[in-house]
Structure 1
Amino acid sequence: RETLLGKRVDYSGRSVIVVGPSLSLHRCGLPREIAIELFQAFVIRDLIRKHLASNIGVAKSQIRKKKPIVWEILQEILDDHPVLLNRAPTLHRLGIQAFLPVLVEGRAICLHPLVCKGFNADFDGDQMAVHVPLSLEA
């Protein structure tokens, strides 16, 4: 409980869910802290491709310093990269669903209240896992 990003699988995270009634049904609010950790490899790749960093070390340094260009690149990546949300126990196929992430402040994952029924979730402290597929085919 001490660390927000304690995990057993790469490209995954776990946090408490909170209500996000202003979100579309196909979107989830992903905290900046989790998003930059999950999508770090994608951000590094784009920083190097756009010649904004000469190597991985420089790119990681820019991410650590939380430079504005890092958030712009992260937003571009999130626009077309869905994430999988899972609430244990996964008893049927609606227990894991894909959403398009939106960056939010805070440390909790935001969900529209109408999508909670499939997860059998509510907002009294339930936790959900986030998984990043490495490609759209995955």
Structure 2
Amino acid sequence: MTLTSGKESPSAPQEFERIKIHDHKAFGRLIADYAIGRKPWPETLAEFKAEVEGRNIASVPDRLKAIQVVQPSEEVFFLRLPPRKIIAQSLDRFARHDADGSAERYPLPPFYADMVCGEEQFTHSDFFLSRVADYTIAVCT
């Protein structure tokens, strides 16, 4: 997820601040540990924030008030829909960029380019954990 730059046009609606990951690999490892039972899931948002912010793994915006942890079985397709306001804002934002020919790049975490372009060496495990972090918090930016 990316935080908004605050450089949207005055007529654009205020965008939601997203979770900002500072260390994708560490965040992905934490999520993997929750998923396989090495660590118990956080029961509250405060517990989750203490974990990720205390270790400088991620910053959680104040607009978030609760946490919901869901782990489907391998036999269940889990269709996770993005929040209505966030997807609507993103669709509008990208349509504006398309219409005005904006040169702004689509917001992706830098580890994707690093892996594809070979600028940084990732092990398969490190890249996988970074992707787990990204798709865990992705909400249609």
TM-score (normalizing by structure 1): 0.27
Which is helix-richer, 1 or 2? 2
Which is strand-richer, 1 or 2? 1
Looking at CA atoms only, which structure, 1 or 2, has the larger radius of gyration?
2
